Structure 1
Amino acid sequence: MTGTDAQLTEEHITALVYGFYARARVDALLGPVFAAEVDDWDHHHLVIRAFWSRVLLGTDRYGGSPYPVHVRLPVKPEHFERWLALFREAAVAFLPPEAALVAIGKAEMMAASFKAGLFTLTDRAD
């Protein structure tokens, strides 16, 4: 366990992933990006569930780094803000309270890191 609720389970993570993507896929800003990039939703869900299992439960189900996948995506800073808003909603809805706070904190750090790596200072000022 990595500092989250003792009762956090893989089932919670599955609910988080499916709940988040149910919202993101129909979102006016994020939906088109996902529609253009994800061909196999079952596989995508599996990978993202493994990622969050590693982050929240400390498992070894995910190997690698998510950053290289995101470098090639046609995203702008506002995509990350929207992603975070939807992720926060899903975390609160589907995870135990303490785990939701941890997950949101991890997502916020990840988004800040990705934005710093993807956008120049000029881009971020917009």
Structure 2
Amino acid sequence: MSPTPNPLQLFDITPGQIDTVLARFYARIRIHPQLGPIFNGHVGTTDAEWDVHVATIARFWRGAILREPGYDGNPMRAHMQAGNVRPEHFDPWIALFEEVATDALPPDTSKAWIALVHRIGRGLRMGVEDMTRPASAVPSLG
């Protein structure tokens, strides 16, 4: 018998499914030719360092989707302060996530999470784009 989902959660997914997707996704990120060097430079290169990162990101997604407490970071600030995250990095990040989620989850679940990833990715990309604009420039609104 599966547990009753939290009525506030965004869509039907279990914590275990979140963990599975993130483990597979970040295993692929680590070796991605464009994204791997960026992530490895910020996260580290050891399994222990990556375990900490993936656990942090799992808390983020559990909060965003399942409405669980436990994540207290600021993804926008982290991406903006990284210094080497560029707007063009979001498309391959999203494409890789789509591949992993589609392979690992039931279709309705993967579609719902992918839609959320696109929405969050758009916001993060806009924040990163705005960091590189001169103060006098008009901000991008989408």
**Aligned counterpart, 1:35:** 40
Deviates more, 1:16-25 or 1:53-62: 53-62
- Using the alignment, how far apart are the partners of 1:76 and 1:90 within structure 2? 22
Of structures 1 and 2, the one scoring higher in RCO (CA 8 A, sep 6+) is: 1
Q: Does 1:78 align with 2:88?
A: yes
**2:71 counterpart residue number:** 62
Matching residue's letter, 1:78: E
1:94 match = 104
Per-residue deviation at 1:64?
A: 3.3
Question: Retained in 2: the 8 A contact 1:13–1:95?
Answer: no
Q: Is the 8 A contact 1:10 1:53 kept in 2?
A: yes
Query: 1:48: which partner in 2?
Result: 57
Where does the alignment leave 5 or more consecutive residues of structure 1 unmatched?
Answer: none
Whole-angstrom CA distance in 2 between matches of 1:4 and 1:70? 26
Q: Tell me the C-alpha RMSD between the 2 structures.
A: 2.0
- What residue number does 2:10 align with? 3
For structure 2, the residue ranges without an aligned partner over 5 or more in a row are: 1-5, 134-139
Count of residues in Structure 1 that have an aligned counterpart in Structure 2: 122
Partners of 2:101 and 2:74 in 1: how far apart? Answer: 22
Cα distance in 2, alignment partners of residues 92 and 70 from structure 1: 25
Structure-2-length-normalised TM-score: 0.77
Shift in CA distance, 117/28, structure 1 to aligned 2, threshold 3 Å: same
The normalised TM-score by structure 1 is 0.86
What corresponds to 1:22 in structure 2? 27
**Structure exhibiting the larger radius of gyration computed from Cα positions:** 2
What SS does structure 2 have at the residue aligned with 1:75? Answer: coil
